[in-house]
Amino acid sequence: MTEQTTSSARARRIRNALLASAFTIGIVGATGAGTLLSNSHLAFADPVQVQAAVPADFSTVVEQVKPAVVSVQVKTDVEPVSRQTTRGNDFNNLPPELRDFFRRFGTPRGFGDDQGQGGDGSEPFHPRHGMSQGSGFFVSGDGYVVTNNHVVEDGREFTVITDDGRELDAKLIGTDKRTDLALLKVEGSDFSYAKLSHDEPKIGQWVLAVGNPFGLGGTVTAGIVSAENRDIGSGPYDHFLQIDAPVNRGNSGGPTFNTRGEVIGVNTAIFSPSGGNVGIAFAIPAKTVEDVVGDLKSNGVVTRGWLGVQIQPVTKDIAGSLGIEGTDGAIVADAQANGPAAAAGIKAGDVITSVDDKQVKDPRELSETIASLEPKQKIAVTVLRDGHEQQIDVTLGNMKDLDESQQANAQPDDQQEDVKPGTLDGLGLTVEKNTDGDGVVVKGIAEDSPAADKGIQEGDVIMAVGGKVVSTVSELERGVSAAKQQGRNAVLFKVQGENGTHFIGVPFERG
């Protein structure tokens, strides 16, 4: 009995020692923060303390902001049924048994002749109208309501329905398609209104989306800011907030609030492969809303500076073809005819690097910078041309005067040469003179060639190479050779295709 007790005690001591060793090794190995000191003590770094910022509930905020949110109903004109269509549904074309039935019980809407739907001229011909709806919110106590442009677009009558059920006639003050914002006005005063936030939203902060999806009445959903400065390709001024609060059809124009009850954005779009909510919604930032609403309230339109250029990013290949370092700036694809830039001497192929000494990172930043300036304002535009930096003074035009049909006209040389095809070695292109206009037409593209990789297609027209206009195959070949002799790793083409005119940097194949 004694031997067994001694043996058991010894076994327990060994087991405890092994467990202690395993526990010590496990902590050091798992955390990586422990340091084994000479006296065999463990020292740990202090853990990160995270204090939960989630409110117990959102009811207080919702109670505060909900009266400011409204439903916006829009009556639109719909193409009326034509006389020809009405005659096509002629009562007399029906089978005899249906004609007898409708004589007794009346004809359905849509059947009849020129003079009316019953075939006897008893009911006049009426135009049709449609109805759509979205959300909005009071931005001031005197009845100004913010919503989306796409909510009120093509509308002829507007009704604002308040949170307490009042239906108020509204007047359209102005719209701005480029930011998808609109401003309405109802008569009255002392409306509950929402304040626009002046603080930059932070990724991860809680937000509330309030609106009127599906016409069900006021609805509130919660989520967080997922990202900022998102470009979704809807326009030149895209810098949306991305939120994961469920935003559905009918929420358009409604506000997104922070937990202080301030508007940080206006809901405008969702990403939805299936048509339902997948937790990716986009809101127009409050700063943009404030600027646009201010202009609409004062002038009924938004005034923006206009430079008059078509621009694109500077890719690595374009930078290499121009012999410049880095990809900052925006390359001018076209300086629009009669535009401010063209009048000042800015040309296609120039890389705009700064405006009034403010560096330009990319085309979107350039667009936003110019739009923030006043028309008729004189600015200093810094460009890179032929590897050299120069400053050009430009007097801005007014964006609202822009005629979107304006196109830049390249001025090719008048030199005429034969039209036989040529092959650009090292690029994978077969080209020939464009007999229908300016430039050189791409007739063939080798598979897996640099040109194919960069998206050049058969039928595209190469208008210029290395900044010089070309009208013949020989001119194009000389331009490519010049780029090689200058030690460039790519050649810059100005290409006119189905998607407009743009620059493409095509790298040379390595020997």
CA-to-CA distance for 124 and 115, rounded, in angstroms?
7
- Tell me, rounded to whole angstroms, the distance of Cα 188 from its chain centroid: 35
Residue type, 331: I
**Residues with Cβ within 8 Å of residue 444, at least 6 apart in sequence:** 429, 430, 458
370 strand-pairing partners: none
CA-to-CA distance for 111 and 361, rounded, in angstroms?
62
* Catalytic residue IDs: 150, 180, 252
CA atoms lying within 13 Å on the CB side of residue 121: 1
Which residue do the tokens 């790519």 mark?
A: 490
> Is the Cα torsion angle 215, 218, 223, 228 positive or negative in sign?
positive
Which residue do the tokens 């949110």 mark?
A: 69
DSSP 3-state of 200 = coil
Query: H helices within 240-379, ranges in order?
Result: 286-299, 316-322, 340-344, 363-371
**Residues with Cβ within 8 Å of residue 11, at least 6 apart in sequence:** none
494 strand-pairing partners: 464, 503
DSSP 8-state code for residue 17: H
Taking Cα atoms as reference points, which of 497, 416, 498 lies closest to residue 463?
497
CA-to-CA distance for 338 and 346, rounded, in angstroms?
12
462 strand-pairing partners: 440, 495
DSSP 3-state of 63 = helix
**Residues with Cβ within 8 Å of residue 80, at least 6 apart in sequence:** 125, 126, 127, 128
Instruction: Tell me if 334 sits within 8 A of 463, measured CB to CB.
Output: no
Taking Cα atoms as reference points, which of 160, 320, 165 lies closest to residue 254?
160
Which residue do the tokens 């005899």 mark?
A: 96
Q: Is 28 exposed, middle or buried (0-12, 13-18, 19+ CB in 10 A)?
A: middle
CA atoms lying within 13 Å on the CB side of residue 476: 29
